[in-house]
């Protein structure tokens, strides 16, 4: 069921107030990807147990799998059922048109990621297309996130080691962050400080000193993508420095799949899917609860 413009604007205003609270109280909001209803339920249960605000986020592929209006409806239904402060983030939207569809659907947060979709896009192209989304989002008040650089990795398991000498070449800089934010007018800057998409055989290392200098250079929100496989103390420090949003995907997918494989092996004669899922729900919920504790958002929900 479509939301009215008034309902969308009220929700985006609440989302903006959440980010202001995160900035003021020094906690980060977890943005958790879904590609099925079961994962959404696990996120809701974790948010309810921890009394934490959360973002549910979907990539372009996940939108295609579930349906943009279905995602909006499911989140709204479970938000009421569980009594949550919960919003939707369109993650890594590959084009201006796709971002506009998310805004039209009432998503409160929009991430426009031109460099992810077109790795050869010029800086000027990224700026121009990001500004188009910022301008379009003014109608509903949706918060727009972007970055002028490409994030490495993918939301999957990786066997290779992390080549930080190569990765450092793509790190954000305070000067670059300030210029991009001032030029585009975005609400959230996606910083690159050692965060990578996916999970690797060694823990990720975040450059907190660089993050501190970026925080001093810009006043808008800061997000960290690629949060899976990162030792928790980095996020605790990042939240204290001033990160308002952290994306989590791979850790949840791994918990979902490995637990489901275990349950299927233990119950070879069971074909009722609903009877196979309770342990899977719990495994994903546990991941989300652990992230909420690390981000410092437990007890911060306002419903």
| Structure tokens, 105 | 């659907």
Please identify which residue in the block is written with the tokens 């000498």.
165
Catalytic residue among 25, 73, 91, 128: 91
Among candidate residues 46, 70, 92, the one with its CA nearest the CA of residue 252: 46
Q: Is 219 helix (H, G, I), strand (E, B) or coil?
A: coil
Instruction: Fill in the DSSP letter of residue 128.
Output: H
Q: In angstroms, rounded to a whole number, what is the distance separating the alpha carbons of residues 275 and 159? A: 33
> Are 126 and 88 within 8 A, CB to CB?
no
Please say if 91 is a catalytic residue. yes
How many other CB atoms are found less than 10 A from the CB of residue 212? 17
CA distances from 10 to 13, 107, 249, 302 (A): 5, 12, 28, 15
List all residues 6 or more positions away from 241 whose beta carbon is below 8 Å from its beta carbon. 208, 211, 212, 215
Place of tokens 């980010």: 19
The DSSP code for 161 is P
Of 124, 117, 132, 126, nearest to 147 (Cα)? 126
15 touches 87 (CB < 8 A): yes
Residue 271: strand pairing partners: none
Residue with tokens 């569809």: 101
C-alpha radius of gyration, the chain, whole number: 18
Q: Are 52 and 87 in contact (CB under 8 A)?
A: no
- As annotated, the active-site residues are 91
């Amino acid at each position: 069921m479509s939301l009215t413009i008034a309902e969308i604007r009220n929700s985006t205003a609440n989302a903006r107030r959440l980010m202001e609270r995160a900035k003021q109280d020094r906690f980060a909001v977890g943005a958790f990807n879904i590609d099925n209803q079961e994962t959404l339920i696990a996120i809701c249960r974790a948010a309810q147990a921890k009394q934490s605000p959360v973002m549910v986020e979907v990539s372009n592929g996940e939108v295609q799998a579930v349906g943009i209006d279905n995602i909006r409806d499911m989140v709204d239904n479970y938000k009421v059922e569980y009594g949550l402060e919960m919003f939707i983030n369109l993650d890594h939207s590959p084009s201006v048109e796709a971002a506009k569809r998310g805004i039209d659907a009432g998503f409160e947060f929009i991430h426009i990621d031109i460099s992810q979709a077109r790795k050869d896009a010029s800086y000027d192209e990224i700026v121009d297309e990001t500004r188009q989304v910022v301008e379009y989002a003014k109608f509903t008040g949706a918060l727009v996130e972007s970055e002028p650089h490409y994030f490495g990795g993918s939301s999957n398991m990786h066997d290779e080691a992390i080549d930080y000498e190569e990765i450092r070449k793509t790190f954000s800089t305070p000067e670059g962050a300030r210029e991009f934010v001032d030029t585009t007018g975005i609400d959230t800057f996606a910083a690159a400080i050692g965060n990578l998409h996916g999970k690797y055989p060694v823990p990720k290392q975040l450059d907190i000193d660089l993050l501190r200098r970026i925080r001093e250079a810009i006043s808008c929100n800061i997000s960290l993508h690629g949060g899976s496989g990162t030792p928790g103390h980095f996020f605790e420090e990042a939240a204290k420095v001033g990160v308002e949003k952290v994306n989590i995907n791979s850790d949840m997918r791994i918990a979902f799949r490995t637990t489901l494989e275990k349950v299927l092996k233990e119950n070879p004669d069971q074909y009722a899917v609903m009877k196979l899922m309770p342990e899977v729900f719990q495994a994903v919920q546990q991941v989300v609860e652990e992230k909420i504790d690390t981000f410092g958002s437990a007890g911060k929900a306002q419903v």
